[in-house]
Every structure is written in structure tokens, then in C-alpha cells.
Structure 1
Amino acid sequence: MTRRRHPSLWIAMALATSSLSGCRCSEPPAEKEEPAKASPTIQRGDAVLVEPNAGDFFEARVLGLEPAAGIQSLKLQRSDGEITTADAVDVYKLPDESAAAAASKQPGLAPGRLVICEVAHQRWVGCRIKTVSEDGYQIEDFGGEEHRISLKKLMLPSELTRMNLEQRFKIGDRRRAFEREAARAGQPAPPPGFSPGFKERVIAKRGDEWFSAHIVRFHDDGAFRVRWMADDRENDVAKVEVIPEPPYQQPPKRGGFVLLKPNVQSLPWARWRVVSVRPELVLQNAAGEQSQSSRREVVPLDPDVAASDEESP
């Protein structure tokens, strides 16, 4: 999604006015449900959390104010020592110990809430609360990995940061759902009677993926020695893990999955979902990207498929 800046948390900061006045706003800020509420001021030496890209974060320390027209810019030093700059609107002030202690006494947050979590030392990620208990939260990150954290390791995002997190989680949820469904489609199997010839091009299983190869030797137990087209290395492969190249007699089914021939031989035949079969074969991958293809480039993931008598391209 297009990067959107979160509300101007820092435009009224004392950084912008410190050279003119040392006073603070006479009215106290309205109370908000913010376990790690950003301070209304950011000063040199403050520890901050920066969102350089939508849903990405890193810790830094404020070195000073950078001259800028319009949006205030901060000079920062990352935890690894790198010097960088960031717009003030992309920066949260990290809570000190007293603020974290006060935060720990606030009411709990409901499952499903999107927050920013410190899952390891100085490693902050967008996360989603899964469960709540007396001693903390069980959360998951964009990749679906779960962590256990306390309230002191949590910050509430601004509305626009929350929207960024929501979009990132939608992408991650969609990818994981795709991977689960693709796994349920099973593995391709050689059709009955399939007997490849010497140097015939086939598709063989290598690790958890399927790659193009040539038959270079036959074993008495039915296994094959294949030479991978990706790197010319050779391996023995079980008979059930060698299948013919397409086309196959049974056409791909809408909503089903196929293995798609890669554009580069060093890449595996990846799993794609069939979106449409007429007038064109339209496929979609885990990222939601679509591509047109033909039956000569796909292996249907169906246990009942049978190889076509047509010649492979």
C-alpha cells in the first residue's frame, strides 16, 4: 500500500520551539489507551522508535534537529551505530521505566488488537494479540510466528500505522492460507505406466521442491539417476518422485492447484492456484499476483491425472 504518515504526533514538539521558549503546553494531554504513550516532546538524547517503511521499525537515539521546510526532520543514530535521518511524524518516543510501569497497570487489550511489540532486544515488529493472560500477551508477527511478551514490551500504534499493520497482516494471512491449501493439494504422481527414456526431460523432486532434469541412469529397483538442469549435478531419485513434463490429459480445474514451469531453469516448479480456465488459463500465486499460462506449462496437482500422448514442447 502507499506509505501514509501517521498523525502529527510530533509537530507540536518542543524540538520545533525549544530555541524560542522552554515552556510546555499548559493543558495536559488527553488520556488515551496507550500502554507506551509517546511523549508530546522529543529532545536530543531521547530513545525513539522509527517507522521508515509501512510496518517496519527500528530503535534509535535522537542526535539533533535537521533543518527542513515543513515537516520536521530528526538526526538519529541507530542501535548499530549508523547515522540516519527521519521525519518527526515517523517517530515514536520509547517509554522510560516510569512510563512502562504506569502502562503495566492499564486495562488489558483484547485479542485481535494490532500493536507494536519488542519481541527481542531492540527488535520491534508489528504484531497481533492472540490471547491475554494475567502475566502478559501471546502475540503473532507478520510471518505467523508467536511470541510471549509483557505489557511493558508493547506500544499502541497511531491510526495510520495501525492501517499499515492491518495491510501487512492481510498479506501474511493470505499467503499462509494459500500455502495451507496448496499443501492439501498433495504431491504430483507419475501416471500409470510412465517409463521415461534415457536423456528424457522429466520433473523430479529435489528436497521439498520439483525441478527440471534429464534421466541419465536406470537402477534395478526402479529408481533413476537424474541430472538437474539447474546446475548439472546428479542424484538418485525414487521412481514415484519422477513425473513427465506437461501437457497432461486431464485439464487443470478452476480452484485447484498446479505446478508452473519456471522462466529460469534454476528455479523450481512453483505452486499456483487456477483462477480461470477459459478462455485463458489464469493462475495466481501466494502473493496474489496473476499470470496467464497454457496446459503445456503446468502439472495439475490431482492424483487421477494421466499423461498426454502429446509431445512436450
Structure 2
Amino acid sequence: MCSNPTANEQIYPSQAAGDAPFSVTEEKLRAAIHVPDDFEYGRNGKIPVVLVSGIAVLAGMTYYYNFRKLGNETAVDVVNAEYVAYSINYIATQTGKSVAVISWSQGGLDTQWALNTGSRRDPSSKTSSPSAPTSTVPNRIRPLLCLTLGLPACTPSVWQKNYTSTFIETFRNDDGDSAYVPTTTIYSTPDEIVQPQSGPNASVRLHDVRGAGVTNAHLQSVRTGQPADGFYSHEGVLYNPLAWALAVDAIVHAGPASIARVDRSVCEQVLPPTLDLTDLFRTEGFLFIAVAELLAYEPHMTAEPAVAGYASASSA
């Protein structure tokens, strides 16, 4: 448990009129944010970055061997978080700066949902999702993962990520597949969890009906025949050198990442300079932990749970 102090301004039970209220205690929300001892709270030009995890694995484990080390390459401060909307507001009030978000897998969809239900009112809070290779956009998500594992029932979150779920339908009704803030999505064709991940109907392609600014970066389309556009899986995007370069570009510039600004020499690398083969293998390893957590989670359900009341009302 973390002993993060009370926020510098009121953000609980909601920060502004129209925000969806939190249903979890503020103490629990704050405890789910891990602020490192060397976090500089926006001082010395540091950009605060919130790391949001995917399904079944906490952010501290998801990013420990990859994006947690991003601060070694650029002027950013990273924190791990589980409750997205609260974390964005909390870090923003504690630092007095706009917050960037790096999300992966389900974390991208969670971040979009959080923006949809409150944080979107402040477009200066550039919330890029540069490492979200799968769920940033609720378009076509592979039929239920639990059925793939041969299970008769699923966890609530897996039910909600199905392409035909009420959750996804509710999202689409409010243009949830369009950016609220400048956003970068990065995805790879050989994704073993979510398909399709190429072409105009790729699952994570984000629309831009609000004009917030979007870059959809398909790794295999950026530069052909180089290591960085090779066989990078669902979790492999977390250590892909081109994904890292785009993440940094998205964070340090106004708007989403620009592929034209990225030094294409990174495509010749297999890993970012900060990472090594140990980081690669240990990042791959946590996927097995995610499967184990999905199997052990209770309760499993035989149907999708109802969406939150505030979401139903807003999309009516």
C-alpha cells in the first residue's frame, strides 16, 4: 500500500460538475498509485507520466522491465496506477502540470473510458496512449479470451471487451472510438490476443471526430524489412524500439507522435538502448501470470455485467 498524501485540490468524489462520481474510497484510489521515491513532481522540466496496465496484471509488474525505465532516456517521471481517472487527476493536482499516459492492452480502453466520463473536459491534459497495441479503440476485439482458454465462464472485464458487448456499444454511441485528447496508438500485426491488427479496420485505429489529434502507428507499415517492424506480439510492443521512440515523441511534443520526426535508425534495433534481453524475457513472462490470474479470478460470469448507470444515461 502507498501512503500518498491527500490531493492538493478536491478531486473526490468528483472534480467538476458532470464528472462520473467515484464508487471506491479515496484512500483505496490513492493507494493504487505507486509514486517512486525519485519522482520530481514536475520539477526540473520533468513531464509526469502515468503508466496504466492491461488486464489481470498490475501496472508495477506490467512495466517493471520496460516502460518503467523510460525516464532513463528522456526527461519524464513515471508513476504506476490502477484507477485511471483518479490517477490522472491526482498526479495533475500534485504536479501542477498536464499528465501524459502510457497504457497497454485493456489499459488503453480504460483510459478512453476515463476520458469519456470526466477528464476529457481539459484537453490540455494530453493523454497519449503510445504503448497500447490492443484495446485503445473499441472496434473489433477477438471473441472472448476465456472461450479460447476453454472456460465456460469469463471475468467481467473480458466479457466487456468482446466486440458485441453492451460496454463497447455504449462506447461507440458516444464516439468513444475517437480521441478526446492528442493520442497515439501503436499496434503490431502478429498480436496473439486481439485481431485484426492491420489495415483500415485494425482494432486499435482511433478516429478523430473531435479534432484532438491522432496518430495510428502500425509497426509493420512504418518501415519494411527492419528488426523493429518484425514479429512483435501483443506484449512485444512494450519493448519495441520504434514504439519507444514514438512514445517519447508523443510525450515531449504538442499533439500526437509524428512518425516523420522519429529517427528511422531506431528501426534497426531489436530493443531500446535502455533494455536488454533479460527485460525482454521477463516482459514476455508476465503474460503467463495474466493467464493464471484470469483463471483464478472470482467471480467468473456466464454473461456480461451491466454497464454503470451513469454511462447508460449519458449514451441514451
Interval of TM-score (by shorter of Structure 1 and Structure 2): under 0.3
Q: Which has the higher strand share?
A: 1
Q: Which has the higher helix share?
A: 2
TM-score for the superposition, normalised by structure 2? 0.22
Larger Rg: 1
